[in-house]
C-alpha cells in the first residue's frame, strides 16, 4: 500500500508540473491556433530569472514577481517583433518562428547566465509529509495548489470577462471577431503576455523540484506539450487531465513495470489515445464548414 | 625531353627553397595544439572548464617564454557534444590548421568518432573523456587523461567491501555515460564479492526518481545504493533518497557528480553520500606530503585568479592533457609527431591534477586507483575520508 501511495504521490507531483506547463500552450493556441514552442523557454526564464535575481542579492519575494514581469516583457516583445510582423503568414510559419525564438532565448540565457544548473529553495521547507508510509514533497502541494487556482482563474477569465470572451471569439473566427469590433492584434499580444506569465509561474514553482538550467525548457516544454496534446489542445481541463495522466503513467509504469521502459509506455499510451481520439481527451472536434 | 627535365629540375629547386625557408621559419613558428571541446550543449559542464583551463595555461606559458623557445598557439573549437561536429573540427585541425597534436574531446562519443581520423593522420591525440573503450584496446596514437568510469566503480566497490556492504542496488540514467558506468557496475561486482540485487533506470529528463528509489527500498536485502550519472538528475535522486527516509541505506555516486552544483542542487539531500573524486576537489585536505597537493593548489589558485571562481573537477583533465603534451614535446625536443607520441607513451611519474601518470605501451591512461580520493558530503562540502 505504501508503495502504491508513493507512486501515486510521485505521479501527482510530476503530473501537476506537466499540467502547469501544458496550460501555457493552450492560451496562445486558443487565440491564434499557433503552438508556441517558446513556451518551455518562458518556463525556463521564470526559474532562471528568479535564481539570478536571488543570486544578485534580492529576497525571494521580490525576485519572484520581478522575474514574472521580465518574462511577460519577453513574451510581449516576442509577439510584437517576431510574431506580429508575420501574422499573415500562416500558422506553420508562426510555429517555426516560435521555434527560432526558443533557440535564441536559450542561447542568450546560456551565454548571459551560464550553463550550470541551479535550485530554488522550497517555499515551505524540505521536510516531506509522510502519509501512510509514503513521502510527499511539500513543494508538490504548492504546484498542485497553484494548478487548481490557475485553472479556476482561467475558467473565470475566459467565461466571465470581456477580454477572455474576446480571445475565445478570435480563436473561433478572427474575421468575424474583427467585424464586431475586437482588436485582433491586441488579443494576440495579450495571450502571449498571459501565457508568458503562466510559464514563468510554472518555472518558479517547479524549480525546487526539477531544478532549473538554461536548457530545461526543452524537457519541460516537451512534456507539457505532450500533456496538452493528450488532453486536447486549447482546453484547460484537457491540459490538466493530460498532465496528470502522463505523470501517473510514468510513475506507475516505472514502479510496476520497468523504469527503463516507462517513457516508452507513456508514449505508446499517448499514441493509442490520439489514434482513437485525434483531438485529445477533452478537445472539441472541429468541423470545417464549407 | 630536355624542356621537361629542366622544368623538373626547376621544380625540385623551388621545392627545396620552400623547404629550406620553412625549416628556418620553424624555429619561430608557434607550437600548435588543437582542441575540440563540448563548450556548449549537454556536456558543457565538462567542456567549459576545460576550454577555460587551456586558454589560461596557454597564456601563462607564453608569458613565461613558451616551450622550446617557441610560442604556444591553442586552437579551440566548440563541438557541442556532437560526434559529427567533432569529426568536422578534428579534420579542420589536422588539414587546415595543421596542428602538431590534439588535446580535446570532452565526451567519449566525440573521442571515439575522431579516433579513425587521428590514426590515419598519425597525429598524437590526448582525449579528455572518461570511458575505458578509448584506450582498450590500445590505439597507437590515442591517449586519455581522466580516470575511467571503471576506476570510479572499483574505488566505490572497494570502499563498500571495507564496510561489509555486499548487496548493491544500481540506479542511473539512460544516457551513454550512465550506461557505461552501469555496465561496469555489473561486471565488477563479482570481483569485489558484491551482488547487484536491483537495477533501476531514469530518463535524463525525469524530475522525480521516487518510484525507482521506492522499488529499491522495497527490494529485500539491499545494503547499499550505487548511482551512475551526472547533472541535474543526480541531484534530484539524492534529494528523493533523503525525502523517502532512505538515508539508512548508504549511497555512493560515481565521479560524474563531483561538483558543488550536485550538492547545492540536492538541497541538503547529498549529506552522507560517498563519491570517488579527483584530488583537486579536496586539495586543501590532502596531507602535506601528498605529491598531488601542490599541483592541485597551484591550479586552483591560477584558475581562481583568472576567472574569479573555483575550478570544477573536470577542468583538471585539460590541465593534465596540456601539460603532458608539453612535457612530451620538451622531452622529444621537437614537434615531430612520431617522436612526441613516443614521448607521451614514456611519461613516467607525471604529477597532474587528476593523479600521477605512468604511461606504458600497454596503458595509454597511466592512472592507478589511488589517484581517486573517496570523499563524503558533510556540511555541504567534500570531506576526505581515507
- Residue B2 binned pLDDT confidence (cut-offs 50, 70, 90): very low
Minimal Cβ distance to B211: which of A126, A216, A251: A251
**Residue B340 · residue B329 · CB < 8 Å:** yes
Residue B319 to chain A, least CA–CA distance (Å): 21
pLDDT (tens digit, 9 = 90+) per residue, B50-89? 999 999 999 999 999 999 999 999 999 999 888 999 999 9
Closest CA to B226 of B277, B166, B278: B166
**Rounded distance between C-alpha atoms, residue B46 and residue B205, angstroms:** 19
Residue A3 to chain B, least CA–CA distance (Å): 7
State whether B267 and A117 contact (CB < 8 Å): no
Burial B143-182 (b: 16+ CB within 10 A, else e): bbbbbbbbbbbbbbbebbeeeebbbbbbbbbbbebbbbbb
**Rounded distance between C-alpha atoms, residue B77 and residue B92, angstroms:** 10
**Rounded distance between C-alpha atoms, residue A161 and residue A177, angstroms:** 16
* Torsion angle, alpha carbons of B354, B356, B360, B362, to 10: -50
Contacts of B322 (CB under 8 A, 6+ apart): B33, B53, B54, B57, B58, B103
**Rounded distance between C-alpha atoms, residue A31 and residue A191, angstroms:** 7
pLDDT of res. B21: 47
pLDDT of res. B27: 54
Count of CB atoms within 10 A of residue A86's CB? 12
- pTM reported for the whole predicted model: 0.83
pLDDT (tens digit, 9 = 90+) per residue, B278-315? 888 888 899 988 888 999 999 999 999 999 888 877 89
Distances (CA, A) of A184 to A90, A172, A177: 15, 12, 7
For chain B, say whether A203 makes contact (Cβ under 8 Å). no
**Rounded distance between C-alpha atoms, residue B143 and residue B341, angstroms:** 9
State whether A137 and B243 contact (CB < 8 Å): yes
Cα nearest neighbour of A133 on chain B: B244
pLDDT of res. B23: 47
Residue A58 to chain B, least CA–CA distance (Å): 19
SS3 of residue B69 by DSSP: coil
Which of B232, B242, B246 to substitute to test the interface with A, most A CBs within 10 Å?
A: B232
Cα nearest neighbour of A135 on chain B: B244
- Residue B178 binned pLDDT confidence (cut-offs 50, 70, 90): confident
Give the angle A124-A196-A148 at the CA atoms, nearest 5°: 45
For chain B, say whether A31 makes contact (Cβ under 8 Å). no
Closest CA to B124 of B342, B347, B348: B342
Contacts of A249 (CB under 8 A, 6+ apart): A11, A262, A265, A266, A269
Minimal Cβ distance to A209: which of B45, B174, B207: B207
**Rounded distance between C-alpha atoms, residue A76 and residue A70, angstroms:** 10
Q: Which residues of A touch B174 (CB under 8 A)?
A: 260
pLDDT of res. A259: 83
Helix (H) or strand (E) holding A60: helix A60-78
Give the angle A207-A25-B41 at the CA atoms, nearest 5°: 50
For chain A, say whether B231 makes contact (Cβ under 8 Å). yes
pLDDT of res. B279: 86
State whether A10 and B202 contact (CB < 8 Å): no
Count of CB atoms within 10 A of residue B238's CB? 27
Q: Which residues of A touch B267 (CB under 8 A)?
A: 119, 121-122, 126, 208
Residue B105 to chain A, least CA–CA distance (Å): 18
**Rounded distance between C-alpha atoms, residue B297 and residue B268, angstroms:** 27
Minimal Cβ distance to B261: which of A116, A255, A260: A116
Which of B46, B50, B208 to substitute to test the interface with A, most A CBs within 10 Å?
A: B208
| DSSP classification of residue B314 | T
**Share in percent of chain A as helix, strand, coil (round to 5):** 75, 5, 20
Closest CA to A131 of A248, A255, A8: A8
**Residue A174 · residue A243 · CB < 8 Å:** no
pLDDT of res. A285: 59
**Residue B122 · residue B338 · CB < 8 Å:** yes
Residue B103 has pLDDT above 70, yes or no: yes
For chain B, say whether A206 makes contact (Cβ under 8 Å). yes
Residue A123 to chain B, least CA–CA distance (Å): 12
User: To which residue does cell 482561467 refer?
Assistant: A154
**Rounded distance between C-alpha atoms, residue A249 and residue A243, angstroms:** 10
Minimal Cβ distance to B201: which of A209, A219, A260: A260
Number of inter-chain CB pairs under 8 A, A vs B: 98
Which of A3, A4, A8, A10 to substitute to test the interface with B, most B CBs within 10 Å?
A: A10
* Torsion angle, alpha carbons of B322, B126, B53, A103, to 10: 160
For chain B, say whether A106 makes contact (Cβ under 8 Å). no
pLDDT (tens digit, 9 = 90+) per residue, B198-208? 999 998 888 89
C-alpha cell belonging to residue B133: 573503450
Per-residue pLDDT of chain A (290 residues; tens, 9 = 90+): 788 999 999 999 999 999 999 998 888 888 888 889 999 999 999 999 999 999 999 999 999 999 999 999 999 999 999 988 887 888 889 889 999 999 999 999 988 988 888 999 999 888 889 988 888 989 999 999 999 999 999 999 989 999 989 988 888 888 898 899 888 888 889 999 999 999 999 999 999 999 999 989 988 898 899 999 899 887 888 899 999 999 999 999 998 888 888 888 888 888 888 888 888 888 765 555 55
* Torsion angle, alpha carbons of A109, B84, B51, B118, to 10: 180
Contacts of A18 (CB under 8 A, 6+ apart): A220, A223, A224, A226, A227, A242, A243, A244, A246, A247
**A178, burial (CB in 10 Å: exposed 0-12, middle 13-18, buried 19+):** middle
State whether A135 and B235 contact (CB < 8 Å): no
Q: Which residues of B touch A210 (CB under 8 A)?
A: 207, 232, 236
List the alpha helices (DSSP H) in chain B. Answer: 2-26, 44-63, 83-95, 108-121, 149-162, 176-189, 210-217, 232-243, 260-265, 291-307, 315-332, 337-345
pLDDT of res. B1: 41
**Rounded distance between C-alpha atoms, residue A69 and residue B34, angstroms:** 45
**Rounded distance between C-alpha atoms, residue B318 and residue B108, angstroms:** 15
pLDDT of res. B7: 52
**A91, burial (CB in 10 Å: exposed 0-12, middle 13-18, buried 19+):** exposed
Count of CB atoms within 10 A of residue B310's CB? 13
Residue B40 to chain A, least CA–CA distance (Å): 8
CA B285, chain centre distance (Å): 22
Average pLDDT in chain B: 89
Residue B19 has pLDDT above 70, yes or no: no
The β-bridge partners of B226 are: B170, B252
Residue B133 has pLDDT above 90, yes or no: no
For chain A, say whether B297 makes contact (Cβ under 8 Å). no
**Residue B152 · residue B372 · CB < 8 Å:** yes
Give the angle B74-B75-B76 at the CA atoms, nearest 5°: 115
Bridge pairing between strands B125-127 and B101-104: parallel
State whether A126 and B261 contact (CB < 8 Å): no
**Rounded distance between C-alpha atoms, residue B181 and residue A212, angstroms:** 25
Amino acid at each position: 500500500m505504501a508503495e502504491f501511495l508513493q507512486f501515486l504521490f510521485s505521479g501527482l507531483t510530476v503530473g501537476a508540473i506537466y499540467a502547469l506547463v501544458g496550460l501555457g500552450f493552450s492560451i496562445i493556441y486558443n487565440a491564434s491556433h499557433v503552438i508556441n514552442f517558446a513556451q518551455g523557454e518562458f518556463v525556463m526564464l521564470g526559474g532562471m530569472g528568479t535564481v539570478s535575481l536571488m543570486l544578485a542579492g534580492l529576497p525571494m519575494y521580490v525576485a519572484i514577481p520581478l522575474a514574472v514581469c521580465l518574462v511577460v516583457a519577453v513574451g510581449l516583445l516576442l509577439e510584437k517583433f517576431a510574431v506580429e510582423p508575420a501574422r499573415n503568414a500562416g500558422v506553420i510559419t508562426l510555429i517555426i518562428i516560435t521555434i527560432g525564438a526558443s533557440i535564441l532565448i536559450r542561447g542568450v540565457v546560456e551565454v548571459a547566465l551560464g550553463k550550470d544548473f541551479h535550485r530554488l529553495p522550497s517555499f515551505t521547507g524540505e521536510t516531506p509529509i509522510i502519509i501512510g508510509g509514503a513521502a510527499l514533497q511539500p513543494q508538490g502541494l504548492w504546484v498542485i495548489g497553484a494548478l487548481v487556482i490557475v485553472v479556476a482563474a482561467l475558467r473565470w477569465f475566459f467565461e466571465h470577462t470581456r477580454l477572455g470572451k474576446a480571445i475565445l471569439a478570435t480563436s473561433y473566427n478572427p474575421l468575424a471577431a474583427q467585424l464586431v469590433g475586437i482588436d485582433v492584434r491586441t488579443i494576440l499580444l495579450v495571450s502571449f503576455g498571459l501565457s508568458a506569465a503562466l510559464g514563468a509561474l510554472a518555472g518558479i514553482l517547479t524549480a525546487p523540484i526539477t531544478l532549473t538550467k538554461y536548457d530545461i525548457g526543452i524537457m519541460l516544454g516537451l512534456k507539457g506539450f505532450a500533456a496538452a496534446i493528450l488532453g486536447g489542445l486549447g482546453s484547460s481541463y484537457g491540459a490538466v487531465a493530460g498532465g496528470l495522466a502522463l505523470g501517473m503513467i510514468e510513475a506507475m509504469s516505472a514502479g510496476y513495470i520497468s523504469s527503463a521502459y516507462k517513457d516508452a509506455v507513456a508514449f505508446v499510451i499517448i499514441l493509442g489515445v490520439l489514434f482513437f481520439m485525434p483531438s485529445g481527451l477533452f478537445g472539441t472536434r472541429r468541423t470545417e464548414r464549407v | 625531353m630536355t624542356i621537361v627535365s629542366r622544368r623538373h629540375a626547376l621544380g625540385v629547386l623551388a621545392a627545396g627553397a620552400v623547404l629550406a625557408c620553412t625549416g628556418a621559419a620553424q624555429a619561430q613558428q608557434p607550437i600548435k595544439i588543437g582542441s575540440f571541446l563540448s563548450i556548449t550543449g549537454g556536456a558543457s559542464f565538462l567542456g567549459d572548464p576545460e576550454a577555460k583551463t587551456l586558454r589560461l595555461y596557454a597564456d601563462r606559458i607564453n608569458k613565461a617564454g613558451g616551450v622550446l623557445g617557441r610560442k604556444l598557439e591553442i586552437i579551440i573549437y566548440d563541438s557541442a557534444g556532437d560526434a559529427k561536429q567533432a569529426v568536422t573540427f578534428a579534420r579542420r585541425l589536422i588539414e587546415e590548421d595543421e596542428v602538431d597534436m590534439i588535446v580535446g574531446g570532452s565526451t567519449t562519443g566525440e573521442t571515439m568518432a575522431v579516433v579513425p581520423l587521428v590514426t590515419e593522420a598519425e597525429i598524437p591525440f590526448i582525449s579528455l573523456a572518461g570511458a575505458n573503450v578509448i584506450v582498450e584496446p590500445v590505439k597507437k596514437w590515442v591517449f586519455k587523461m581522466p580516470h575511467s568510469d571503471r576506476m570510479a566503480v572499483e574505488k566505490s566497490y572497494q570502499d563498500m567491501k571495507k564496510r561489509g556492504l555486499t548487496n548493491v542496488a544500481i540506479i542511473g540514467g539512460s544516457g551513454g555515460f550512465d550506461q557505461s558506468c552501469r555496465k561496469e557496475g555489473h561486471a565488477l561486482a563479482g570481483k569485489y564479492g558484491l551482488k547487484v540485487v536491483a537495477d533501476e533506470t531514469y530518463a535524463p529528463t525525469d524530475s522525480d526518481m521516487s518510484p525507482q528509489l521506492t522499488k529499491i527500498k522495497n527490494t529485500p536485502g539491499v545494503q547499499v545504493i550505487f548511482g551512475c550519472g551526472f547533472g541535474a538528475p543526480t541531484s534530484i535522486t539524492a534529494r528523493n533518497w533523503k525525502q523517502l527516509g532512505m538515508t539508512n541505506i548508504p549511497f555512493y555516486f560515481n565521479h560524474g557528480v563531483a561538483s558543488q552544483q550536485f550538492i547545492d542542487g540536492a538541497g541538503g539531500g547529498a549529506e552522507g553520500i560517498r563519491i570517488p573524486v579527483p584530488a583537486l576537489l579536496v586539495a586543501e585536505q590532502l596531507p602535506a606530503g601528498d605529491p598531488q597537493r601542490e599541483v592541485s593548489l597551484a591550479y586552483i589558485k591560477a584558475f581562481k585568479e583568472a576567472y574569479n571562481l573555483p575550478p570544477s573537477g573536470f577542468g583538471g583533465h585539460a590541465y593534465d592533457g596540456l601539460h603532458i603534451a608539453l612535457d612530451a614535446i620538451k622531452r622529444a625536443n621537437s614537434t615531430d609527431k612520431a617522436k612526441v607520441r613516443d614521448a607521451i607513451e614514456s611519461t613516467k611519474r607525471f604529477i597532474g591534477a587528476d593523479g600521477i601518470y605512468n604511461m606504458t605501451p600497454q596503458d595509454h591512461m597511466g592512472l592507478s586507483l589511488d589517484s581517486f580520493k573517496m570523499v563524503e558530503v558533510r556540511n555541504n562540502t567534500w570531506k576526505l575520508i581515507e
